[in-house]
Amino acid sequence: MRRRVLADHVFDELLSRLMDGTLAAGSSLNIDALARDLDVSPTPVREALARLEATGMVHRVALRGYFVAPAPTAKELADLMDARLAVEPVNAFYACARGDGEFVAALERAVAELEASPNGPTYQEFRDYWEADERFHTLVAEAADNTYLQAAFAALGGLVQRFRQFSGTGVTDKDVAVAEHRAVLDAIRSGVPEQAQELMRRHIEGVRSRSLAERGEPAPSPGA
């Protein structure tokens, strides 16, 4: 248990540094140096970097180690959102059909926390918002009760690449995002799978459009 808590602490600390730019894109991540800086053994650092690699925040080069990944390009961000569009509306359909009262209550708590969370310019300020957002989508994926869909959702690396954009500015679309999450929640609570699927699709499409607009870049055309 202590090892898990320590590994989570190291992960959170490295993620904070990555999100705030303390660890700059392209910089090398030396495991031993990070372990000394964080006053831990190399093992939790190695575990944290492996988890961060799955989010796309760092990448590993054979024989050279880990490096901070650059921010995603407009096409990479659009591709990520397109992949979410292929998976998450279907998750919402099955979650609505299969989820129980406990699931709905957990979704309600996630939306309430999303609405109550601060959304300032540093990771520490918008961290609770991001965690509530990710928890909402993870709950839906789990309630869909489909091993392959859940694996596909997990392979997308969570929502961290989207929130990487908010470092220095804060969450810019909180009000509309909360309203979209609440609409999905209401559809799931009503027990209409088709409506839940459609509203999740609209939410992800909205996130896609806003993500690209915030970069000042148009959405790439199909096949670009």
CA distance 134 to 160: 9
Tokens coding 21: 């730019």
Provide the token pair at 56: 């796309």
Element spanning 159, H or E: none
| Residue 176: band (very low, low, confident or very high) from pLDDT cuts 50, 70, 90 | very high
Mean pLDDT value across residues 41-64: 93
Domains and CATH numbers, the chain: 2-68 (1.10.10.10), 74-214 (1.20.120.530)
| Whether pLDDT at 223 is above 50 | no
- Give the CA-trace dihedral at 189, 207, 133, 197, to 10 degrees: 30
pLDDT at 224: 47
Rounded Cα distance between 92 and 153, Å, is 12
Question: The tokens of 168 are what?
Answer: 């220095």
Confidence of residue 1 (pLDDT cuts 50, 70, 90): low
Is the pLDDT score of 200 beyond 50? yes
Q: 202 pLDDT exceeds 60?
A: yes
- Average confidence score pLDDT of the chain: 91
Q: In whole angstroms, give the CA distance from residue 117 to residue 133.
A: 10
192: left (phi over 0), alpha (psi -120 to 50) or beta: beta
Residue 193 Cα to chain centre, angstroms: 24
At 132-171, the pLDDT tens digits run: 999 999 999 999 999 999 999 998 877 788 888 887 888 9
User: What is the rounded CA–CA span in Å between residue 21 and residue 26?
Assistant: 11
